[in-house]
Amino acid sequence: MSQQEVYLGNPNLKKANTPIEFSEENILEFLKCKDDPVYFARKYIRIVSLDEGLVPFNMYDFQEKLIDRFHGIYNRSFSFFTYRTNHFLKFL
């Protein structure tokens, strides 16, 4: 990746509007993470520990349940909002 495509000189960060090519495997992983935020947290979130350095984010059971509930509420609310918007637009 060229220096023109990175953000603030950090090769781990791409600048805005930098095109990215995804393989089928990348797309499947993205969809899995989108549908299961607990899976995403377990696999990709890391915490900096003063004693151990970079460690995986190991959640307690109640934290996993909270994330699942928030995710379910968000999906239901979004679906309801979309339904109401579509219903409203029919009358315009």
Contacts of 32-37 with CB under 8 Å at 24 or more apart are: 37/67, 37/68, 37/70, 37/71
pLDDT digits (tens, 9 = 90+) for 3-43: 677 888 888 888 888 888 889 999 999 999 888 889 998 99
Whole-model pTM: value is: 0.61
Furthest CA-CA distance within the chain: 61
Asked whether 34 and 25 are in contact (CB, 8 A), the reply is no
